[in-house]
Structure 1
Amino acid sequence: MTLKRYNMEKILKIITGLAGALFALIGLGWVIKPAAIAAEMGLPLLEGTALNTQIGDMGAFFFAGGVITLLGVLTGKRQWYYAAALLIGTAGVFRVLAFTVQGATLPIDKLIVEIVVLGILLASAKLTSVPQ
């Protein structure tokens, strides 16, 4: 392995780890401070069963996505990066579908984050030195 590739892997590992940690923290935030997290995402905090679903589903999405990403960083196994990429990429696709099919507002800032994180995850999978 060349020094340039080693450095690229190291930089990507750090960036990917930060993204994974951020996602996991957002997931935990849904349990610890749901009103603040909902506000950051431009969502009203719901009530009753809807609140439970909002916290459970949104918290699980972010926490699981973050943990899966961190597993990729810690193990260096490509399949973890691909699993996280599937989760994040699908969120972006569904966001675009919500816009085109249902007429929902398309929050470009959130879509850009998903595209960038997807790219980071796929690059990490491609450059990882540990085979599947």
Structure 2
Amino acid sequence: MENIIHTLLAGFIVSIAWFIAGGILYMNPVVKKIYSKFENNPGMKKWGDQKKYLLSMYFVGALIPSLIFSFVYTLISPISILYFGLILVGVRIMPRFFDMWIQSSYPNKLLFVEIINGSILSFIAAIIFSLV
């Protein structure tokens, strides 16, 4: 039972870190400027309710995947930060990238930003999993 609580706690901590680091990566002036150029692109969803967007982004984009990856980390550890970071990129970032590239009109420049930021976030998560 203690191991399950530790695993859930680790996933929760990683989800908070992912959400905060993601905010920093996506809301910095350079990236924000890139995204603003594509505001009217048909591939961009428009969220009228910012609170709903942030809650959705946290629960679906950070908490649920972090809890899942926390259990994965528990099952396959000990593993190096590099390898676990690569696993996260390979399982979470790359499939999403290719899916969006193949099936949507999402701008390629933004896909590039997504893959870079997603990879950075994956390695941040791997580091935190190794510390918690």
Q: Establish whether TM, by shorter chain, passes 0.5.
A: no
TM range, smaller chain? 0.3 to 0.5
Q: TM-score, normalised by structure 1?
A: 0.40
Q: TM-score, normalised by structure 2?
A: 0.40
Higher RCO, 1 vs 2 (CA within 8 Å, ≥6 residues apart): 2
